[in-house]
Structure 1
Amino acid sequence: MTRITLACIALLTLPGVVGAATCGNTGSGFETWKVGFADQARKAGVKSAGLQALSQASYASRTIAADRNQKSFKYSLDKFMQIRGADTIVAQGRKRKARNPDLYAALERQYGVPAGVLIAIHGMETAFGGFMGDSQVVSAITTLAYDCRRSDFFVPHAIGALKLVDQGTLTSQTLGAKHGELGHTQFLPGNALIYGVDATGDGRVDFYNMTDALASTANFLRQKGWKPGRGYQEGQPNFAVIQAWNAAGVYQKAIAIIAARIDG
């Protein structure tokens, strides 16, 4: 899922992030591109571990196929919710909220984001952690940075992924979604770098730990302008923040509706 955020703009202003490597539309130029991109990454502050992960990245054909075939976002709202299992997300989401009320209450106290919104995103993105992806994050995100279709959007996230490798948050083998999203709520790497929260207090941000992932999601939404206690349906103040999470209108509306049903 594509997150359009000011984080991308901020990362694009880093020295050397734009313009040094030439994009391509097939895998034939990927290895050459990596050489130029390594120089960009180095100038943007990526260290040896991140550069090593870049050198090991492979052209992700499945990622390109998925990027060219995002049909679900063209469906009507009703069909989208049916295909994505909205009723199941609501039913399971209510049970999850009831089983762990203290966690969601603590997140709402700290960030102002209701449980329903976080649970709806968690359910929609990975079926509550049931499937967090089978693509190598670094290969997927660097492939998208190389691909000419949306290179400018994905370059900052590729830089972010390499910096996450430097920090020990990712390795070259870490698996995520086909567009390089990672963890329980499918953060794009540039956003993970900026908004990640160590909610467990173990000294590292782990997006494959549910508590860290949910806290990071709540932090993202709060930093994007979430107003505690205000509405989040279409036309209400916090709906614009849901729009910052995902660019697809049908997804935004679905999250708002599912969240409201979970919160009852």
Structure 2
Amino acid sequence: MRPTQRLATALMLSMGFAAPVAAAQCGNNAGGFDAWKPAFAQEAAAAGVGQRGLDALANARYASSTIAADRNQKSFNYSLDKFMQVRGADTIVARGRKRKSRDAGFYQSLEARYGVPAGVIIAIHGMETAFGGFMGDTSVVSAITTLTYDCRRSDFFAPHAIGALKLVDTGAISGSTKGAKHGELGHTQFLPGNALRYGVDGNGDGRVDFYNQTDALASTANFLRQKGWQTGAGYQEGQTNFNVIKQWNAAGVYQKAIAIMAARIDG
């Protein structure tokens, strides 16, 4: 450290600020991952991650399957019709209507509290995990830290890696919790940073569990509400709440599919 750097650091410490932490060096293959983890651990600790989270980071493994999936997201390039066919839209709608009828009181309570109609929540649930049928087979912590280490989108994934480690600290997940290839977790596949910020205890048991359907769907409704969902406004393309659906997933075909399926479920 040069004298001027030492002086700047001393001044920051004397004023109560943390010393700057050098950014961990990203990489494009597994070779540097183990060396990257201690450097990222410093960033995580500076961001408030505790020992349980840091231990989970230390035990994370480079997720080759995550990188392969990230390089091969073909379905988002399909036409809308093809995307809906591949994702099983008709089945989601049929099952979704039954779920809405069976659990009408639950979905009505979500709409009363958050303003989001049942069809939107149900369509997302069906699209993401087939209503909880498959919530992933990859370590959440390993996947999200691998994506943070990977040079393609480090800045995007870093807050979610910090979020995942903080979720470990709180006990919401563990280092072995399984999720999707990009580190999404639970019934509606929250990215960890969003889970930390928007998660709510829907069933009143004192904890937020994204693998519990009630908590996950309440958290999904809360996310949409916090992103600007307006009660009673439309959610088809060109309408006010369609812009909020865009906040859930950046792919245009996904957004349109959710809006179309939701309308069919609500209809």
The normalised TM-score by structure 2 is: 0.92
State which of 93, 104, 125 in structure 2 corresponds to 1:90: 93
User: Which letter maps to 2:150?
Assistant: D
Give structure 1 regions of 4+ aligned residues with deviation exceeding 6 angstroms. 15-18
Q: Who is 2:63 aligned against?
A: 60
CA RMSD of aligned residues (A): 1.2
5+ residue gaps, structure 1: 1-14
Find 2:127's aligned residue among 118, 124, 127: 124
Q: 1:73 to 1:107 in 2, by over 3 A?
A: same
Q: State how far apart, in whole Å, the 2-side matches of 1:36 and 1:43 are.
A: 11
Q: Displacement of 1:20 after TM fit?
A: 1.4
| Partner deviation per Cα, 1:103-137 (whole Å, 9 max, x = no partner) | 00000000000000000000000000000000000
Q: CA offset at residue 189 of structure 1?
A: 0.1
User: CA contact under 8 A between 1:16 and 1:43: conserved in structure 2?
Assistant: no
Residue 246 of structure 1 corresponds to which residue in structure 2?
Answer: 249
Residue correspondences, number? 250
Compute the displacement of 1:17 (Å): 10
Cα offset, 1:81, TM superposition: 0.2
Amino acid paired to 1:79: K
* 1:24 aligned onto 2:24: no
Q: How high is the TM-score relative to the length of structure 1?
A: 0.93
Deviations 1:37-59 (A, max 9, x none): 00000000000000000000000
Cα separation, 1, equivalents of 2:216 and 2:64: 28
The correspondence for 1:158, drawn from 133, 144, 161, is: 161
What's 1:229 paired with? 232
Q: What percent of counterpart residues are identical?
A: 76
Assess if the C-alpha contact under 8 Å between 2:21 and 2:42 holds in 1: no
Give the whole-Å Cα distance in 1 for the aligned partners of 2:201 and 2:21. 30
Match of 1:178 in 2: 181
**Relative CO higher for 1 or 2, CA cutoff 8 Å, sep ≥ 6?**
1
Q: 1:37 to 1:90 in 2, by over 3 A?
A: same
Q: Secondary structure of 2:159's match?
A: helix
In structure 2, C-alpha distance between the alignment counterparts of 1:16 and 1:50, rounded to whole Å: 21
Structure 2: state its 5+ residue gaps.
1-17
Q: Partners of 2:20 and 2:139 in 1: how far apart?
A: 22
Q: Which residue of 2 aligns with 1:6?
A: none
Post-superposition Cα deviations, 1:9-65, rounded to whole Å, max 9, x if no partner, equal xxxxxx899851000000000000001000000000000000000000000000000
| In structure 2, distance between residues paired with 1:221 and 1:20 | 32
Whole-Å separation in 1 of the counterparts to 2:229 and 2:175: 34
What does the per-residue CA deviation read over 1:157-181, in whole Å, with 9 as the maximum and x for residues that have no partner? 0000000000000100000000000
